[in-house]
Structure 1
Amino acid sequence: MNILVLFPLLFFLCTIFAGYWYKLVSAIVPAPYLDEVFHLRQAQAYCDGKLSQWDPKITTPPGLYVLSIPLRWVGDGCTVYNLRAVNMGLLGAVGIVAHWILELRRANGTTPRNSLTQALNDAHSAFNITLFPLLFFFSGLYYTDIASTLLVLSFYWCYMAESSKAKLFSPSQIAWALCSLTIRQTNIFWVAVFPAGLTVISTLQHSPAGARRRDSESLMQLSSRVLKQAWTEGSVYDPPIIEATLEDYLLTTASIIVATLRNLRRVVPALLQYGFILGIFACFVLWNGGVVLGDKSNHVATIHLPQMLYIWPYFVFFSFPLMLPSALRLALHLLSRAPGLSPRSKEAKTNLPRLCIFAAFSAIAALVIRVNTIVHPFTLADNRHYMFYVFRILLRNGFTKYGAAPTYVLCAYLSINALGGSEASEIPRKEEKCVKKGQDIAKQTATRSDGSCNASFVIVWLASTALSLVTAPLVEPRYFIIPWVVWRLHVPAYRFAATSGRNPTHALQEHDHRLWLETLWFFAINAATGYMFLYRGFSWPQEPGNIQRFMW
């Protein structure tokens, strides 16, 4: 098969799968379900021209409803069936824009440019993003998540396409940003704060020679050199993730702050358009008297730090296939320290977790759990959502509640490390047979990709993610969709060595095999959650005759 036809084939399959799911949902659950009751009713009011009518239970802006108005002139008009089809179509658009972003990363030099293998990896990754269970599930219902994701990705694509152009104001970026805010208010962090952070990094100079600690250089000497260069040269200390330790992240943050203060005349003009977007959003908040539009009593902003703990098991659960190299490297590292096996390799600087740092972060996580755990009334009042059962387990006793702290830290390490790829040189070379075998497999199957990220990206992404989550008292898996999609777009692919030289199947032999496992895993989750939603309904005693269904 010609590899060039795989991209349209994959998206044809995406349309087929999404269409099949949409048909099943519409046949078995024809009436509006749960939040659809509010969204569909509001969309139908807009279709009828009643633009001043507003349901006070709806918290998000009316962008999706405006987008659906043209359906009034199509077929039966704005029926439940037709309105649900909007998200089915938008899901394919998410995949297309995700593929454009991956292509731009390659064209901009952050991934290999002329590799057919990488092009295939890009298409497969974009396809997998459309299969992401939280997106795929809601492609059969009328919710705002897919439209929100699409508009944020469209903004990010526009930002990347124009990143090499010196523009103080980009009308296209501003337009996409404002459109995304008509769907969901928290998108402000992804269309203003996130690009502003990336713009600061790109505006400042990078010092490749200063990105690594020199031989025999102490941490104090490194810190002094980095901060001096940041002030005198405006350079950012920005090591690759695969080598970055906690100290490196702190130094990167400090160097960004110092270099920014030293170069305000260059940085401030580059941030004007994001300040403009923030200003418009601030005006909306003042006019509205708050961030949410309706149901304000149940959506009061508050500091909820455990959100930044819950997100990591979420990432690992859905994306463990992409974390297998990091997990293998960590396992080999632990085996190399076991009694009877050879000592640790000292050939290269690594970011493998140190016990003292791991214990300290686990203690901090436990403290956050102790003083800031918030259980929203909705969480334990509705057994139709999977989070109800997750929190019942977490809150069962102190052991499960606080014992989860090390798990959060480990999952965070694996998630962040996945952005950096892996280097075979970091795997111990002189182990006993069991370790040697695993090392050989890792060395022969994968090498670090040029598409890996640096510490500065992690800092900006973490800051944007935290700002979008920690003010929400409700733990909702859908809130993690955009952080996951942005993270997923930056996970580098691995090139697997072909065994028979260049031939018509060479690109497939070098294809990142983790992507196939990710595809199968997403299919399995979608099949399981789809089955539970459609065929495992139950009834509440207080609502006899009404079928309740499990969903995210």
Structure 2
Amino acid sequence: MDRFLKYLFISIYSIISIIIFQKVFETSGEVIDELFHIRQGLKYCQGNFSEWDSKITTFPGLYLLSSFIPTEYCETYTLRLIPLICSFINILLIYEIKSLILYDAEKENNHDVLLETMALATLPPMYFFSHVYYTDVPSITMILFMLLFSILKHHKLSAIFGAFSVIMRQTNVIWVAGTLGVHLIDKMMLKIYPKMKRETATFDNFLFALKSHLKHPKILLEFIVGSISEYFGYFVIIFSFMAFVFINGSIVVGDKTAHEASIHIPQLYYFSLFVLVFGCSLWLPQLFRLHKIFSSWKCLLGIFLLTLFMILTVKYNTLVHPYLLADNRHYTFYVWKRFYQRHALAKYAIIPVYIFGLSTIFTSMDGSIGFKIFFVLSTIATLCLQKLIEVRYFLIPFLLLKLNRKSVTKSLSLLELLVNILINQITFIIFFQVQVRWKDFNEVQRIIW
């Protein structure tokens, strides 16, 4: 029955998505950055690998994937089909990963997994970019493949897809490093605590295991040699990327001026808002625990200190990328203009919401101590070195947070699915009906995430 429902959902998802895809294609020939992506993709699928648009700042993974399209079918329509097909694949990957994480077995499971899969597959920003020729959805596909084979302990295959993910988008190297880090900590913990379950280990256990390895050179050497042998593929990716950055002088290819690395701590706060908007299944249970926070003086002291830290970082580290202020084709432009810029105190007034969002993230983290440590580190590394606020940057950490959740409630997953469907409807209505005129473009522009 579960298998039937799974493929029924995929069929319904596919039919609706193809209808929307057709409407998007008829409405807009090029959506913002597609101006560069489509032009480059057409060159690659026509066999021209020598020309490169300097405005493109990512590796050519999407265009290499496009090169498998037969030349006679090389056109915008077929290029856009690539992310859509990847979104179909992602449904199966999410289902399998969630099944393995929840039940530690590769088998069909109950409706909990299916509802969670449906909610994740319809995540509004990710779902929207399934209909245009952007790198995001194929990049997520590669990350999901890497995660799936990592869970199954097929580390060579996992590393191969990790490499593909980096070729899709450079910052994915952080998630490759995070995957390696999780396995290294789990391996180290297993050596010291062979009978302890991964999920029950604490940070103190981790520190003790780390000290034990550092104090005993023989154990440390065995650990290093064994890790290099077992996880060789991940190490190759990481060190190869480090060599690329050293030679290139930056992680960015092409136009480096548009994506300069900057320390930007408030990106974590914006991510917490993203979690609250799209993760009602995560934050609703937290509402019933708020009384515990206010009944403990330690928690109140922690909130006070965190509030002071946020006030300082919001005041001195709020960075505004020129694109955010100039490009009225993104929702972030309107959020910033109509809320953050409306009043000088607006960016401080929302700090309590940030605190609740960050609390939701930390209390929602399940899995091993290795996952918790490297999820935090990888999320910080991914977000806090970006000056531009982009909801697309939040997709992978949000997916990983949700995928690793051990507790899944049917009613909350269903609510989240319904909310996602509603937001998707509104998003596409705005896309189809609202027109934005730019002097530099003859074609009408549209509003997207």
Superposition TM-score, scaled by structure 2 size: 0.90
Once residues 55 and 455 of structure 1 are traced to their aligned partners in structure 2, the CA distance between those partners, rounded to angstroms, is 43
1:20 aligned partner, one-letter code: I
- Corresponding residue to 1:161 among 152, 166, 169: 152
- Give the helix-richer structure, 1 or 2: 2
| Larger CA Rg, structure 1 vs 2 | 1
5 Å matches for 1:88-487? 88-108=84-104, 118-162=109-153, 170-191=155-176, 193-205=177-189, 251=204, 254-255=207-208, 257-262=210-215, 263-272=219-228, 273=232, 274-330=234-290, 333=292, 354-392=299-337, 393-419=339-365, 452-487=366-401
CA distance 1:239–1:61, change in 2 (3 Å):
closer
Once residues 110 and 222 of structure 2 are traced to their aligned partners in structure 1, the CA distance between those partners, rounded to angstroms, is 36
Deviation at 1:403, TM superposition (A): 2.3
CA distance 1:20–1:261, change in 2 (3 Å):
farther
Give the 3-state SS of the residue equivalent to 1:474 in structure 2. coil
CA distance 1:60–1:257, change in 2 (3 Å):
same
Once residues 7 and 258 of structure 1 are traced to their aligned partners in structure 2, the CA distance between those partners, rounded to angstroms, is 46
- Corresponding residue to 2:407 among 486, 493, 496: 493
Q: Which runs of 5 or more structure 1 residues have no equivalent in the other structure? A: 164-169, 208-229, 242-247, 338-343, 345-350, 420-451, 496-511
Superposition TM-score, scaled by structure 1 size: 0.74
Deviation at 1:543, TM superposition (A): 4.6
Q: Which residue of 2 aligns with 1:17?
A: 16
Q: Which residue of 2 aligns with 1:504?
A: none
- Corresponding residue to 1:46 among 44, 47, 50: 44
1:22 aligned partner, one-letter code: F
Once residues 544 and 286 of structure 1 are traced to their aligned partners in structure 2, the CA distance between those partners, rounded to angstroms, is 38
Q: Which residue of 2 aligns with 1:166?
A: none
1:301-334 CA-partner distances (Å, limit 9, x unpaired): 121121122111111111113321222232x547
Once residues 374 and 297 of structure 2 are traced to their aligned partners in structure 1, the CA distance between those partners, rounded to angstroms, is 22
Cα contact 1:68–1:83 (8 A) shared by 2: yes
- Corresponding residue to 2:429 among 531, 536, 541: 531
Deviation at 1:174, TM superposition (A): 2.5
1:314 aligned partner, one-letter code: F
2:351 aligned partner, one-letter code: A
Deviation at 1:61, TM superposition (A): 0.8
Q: Which residue of 2 aligns with 1:77?
A: 73
Give the 3-state SS of the residue equivalent to 2:444 in structure 1. strand
Once residues 333 and 386 of structure 1 are traced to their aligned partners in structure 2, the CA distance between those partners, rounded to angstroms, is 36
Once residues 336 and 152 of structure 2 are traced to their aligned partners in structure 1, the CA distance between those partners, rounded to angstroms, is 42
Q: Which residue of 2 aligns with 1:214?
A: none
CA distance 1:369–1:198, change in 2 (3 Å):
same
After superposing the two structures, state which structure 1 stretch, 177-186 or 284-293, moved more: 284-293
CA distance 1:238–1:492, change in 2 (3 Å):
closer
Once residues 324 and 493 of structure 1 are traced to their aligned partners in structure 2, the CA distance between those partners, rounded to angstroms, is 13
Cα contact 2:119–2:414 (8 A) shared by 1: no
CA distance 1:408–1:21, change in 2 (3 Å):
same
1:475-525 CA-partner distances (Å, limit 9, x unpaired): 111011111111110123346xxxxxxxxxxxxxxxx11111111011011
2:361 aligned partner, one-letter code: S
User: How many residue pairs end up in the alignment?
Assistant: 441
Once residues 3 and 348 of structure 2 are traced to their aligned partners in structure 1, the CA distance between those partners, rounded to angstroms, is 50
Deviation at 1:268, TM superposition (A): 2.1
Q: Which residue of 2 aligns with 1:223?
A: none
1:10 aligned partner, one-letter code: F
Once residues 260 and 95 of structure 1 are traced to their aligned partners in structure 2, the CA distance between those partners, rounded to angstroms, is 40
1:372 aligned partner, one-letter code: N
Once residues 543 and 313 of structure 1 are traced to their aligned partners in structure 2, the CA distance between those partners, rounded to angstroms, is 33
Deviation at 1:172, TM superposition (A): 1.7
Once residues 353 and 457 of structure 1 are traced to their aligned partners in structure 2, the CA distance between those partners, rounded to angstroms, is 26
Once residues 297 and 417 of structure 2 are traced to their aligned partners in structure 1, the CA distance between those partners, rounded to angstroms, is 28
Q: Which runs of 5 or more structure 2 residues have no equivalent in the other structure? A: none
- The reply to whether residue 55 of structure 1 matches residue 53 of structure 2 is yes
Q: Which residue of 2 aligns with 1:501?
A: none
Tell me: higher relative CO, structure 1 or 2? Use CA pairs within 8 A at least 6 residues apart. Answer: 2
Once residues 415 and 472 of structure 1 are traced to their aligned partners in structure 2, the CA distance between those partners, rounded to angstroms, is 20
- The reply to whether residue 549 of structure 1 matches residue 446 of structure 2 is yes
CA distance 1:316–1:520, change in 2 (3 Å):
same
1:549 aligned partner, one-letter code: R
Cα contact 1:87–1:140 (8 A) shared by 2: yes
After superposing the two structures, state which structure 1 stretch, 41-50 or 265-274, moved more: 265-274
Give the 3-state SS of the residue equivalent to 2:324 in structure 1. coil
CA distance 1:400–1:267, change in 2 (3 Å):
farther
Deviation at 1:15, TM superposition (A): 1.0
CA distance 1:254–1:237, change in 2 (3 Å):
farther
Q: Which residue of 2 aligns with 1:520?
A: 418
Q: Which residue of 2 aligns with 1:8?
A: 7
Identity over aligned pairs, percent: 28
Give the 3-state SS of the residue equivalent to 1:50 in structure 2. coil
Give the 3-state SS of the residue equivalent to 2:133 in structure 1. coil
Give the 3-state SS of the residue equivalent to 1:298 in structure 2. coil
Deviation at 1:236, TM superposition (A): 9.1
Once residues 137 and 20 of structure 2 are traced to their aligned partners in structure 1, the CA distance between those partners, rounded to angstroms, is 15
Once residues 94 and 266 of structure 1 are traced to their aligned partners in structure 2, the CA distance between those partners, rounded to angstroms, is 38
1:253-311 CA-partner distances (Å, limit 9, x unpaired): 64464345345234323543233221111122233332111111111112112112211
Cα contact 1:387–1:476 (8 A) shared by 2: yes
